[in-house]
Amino acid sequence: MHTPNEVIHQSLRLRIMAALNALPAQEYLEFTRLRAILKATDGNLGAHLTTLENVDYVSVKKDFAGRKPRTRIIMTDAGRKAFAEHVAFLRTVIDDHVFQAAD
């Protein structure tokens, strides 16, 4: 039986992981693009990325594009595995609900 991932389960972190999971493995997403996709503030997004980074679900890379600083995020292999397991948990919850409703 699958269990919820308490780190990923939070709404914005779940959306962050879903956005990153949609990318091919080893592909980065710029912070500004992720912020726009999620319609999050810099501070809120940054705090949630720190939480995900602390459990090795994402990696944050800071560098420069020319002279302009940029921050890019990538989902780690551990993050992909954790996200897949959490999605499997959510599917069992939905399936159980649908099965119970059919009775």
Full domain range(s) for residue 98: 11-102
pLDDT of 2 reads 74
Inside any domain, residue 1: no
Question: Do residues 23 and 75 lie in contact, with contact meaning Cβ atoms separated by under 8 Å?
Answer: yes
Q: Over the stretch 41-93, which tens digit does the pLDDT of each residue have? A: 999 999 999 999 999 999 999 999 999 999 999 999 999 999 999 999 999 98
Alpha helices, DSSP H, located in 10-76: 11-21, 31-38, 42-54
Domain assignment present for residue 55? The answer is yes
Residue 99 has pLDDT above 70, yes or no: no
Phi-psi region of 56 (alpha: psi -120 to 50; beta: other; left: phi over 0): left
Please report, as a single letter, which amino acid is at residue 74. I
5 within domain boundaries:
no
Do residues 79 and 39 touch, judged by C-beta distance below 8 A?
no
**Above pLDDT 90, what percent of the chain?**
85
Number of independent structural domains in the chain: 1
Asked if the structure places residue 23 within a domain, the reply is yes
Flag whether pLDDT at 1 surpasses 70. no
| CATH number for the domain harbouring residue 88 | 1.10.10.10
Cα 3 to Cα 31: distance, rounded to the nearest angstrom: 30
Specify if 70 maps to a domain: yes
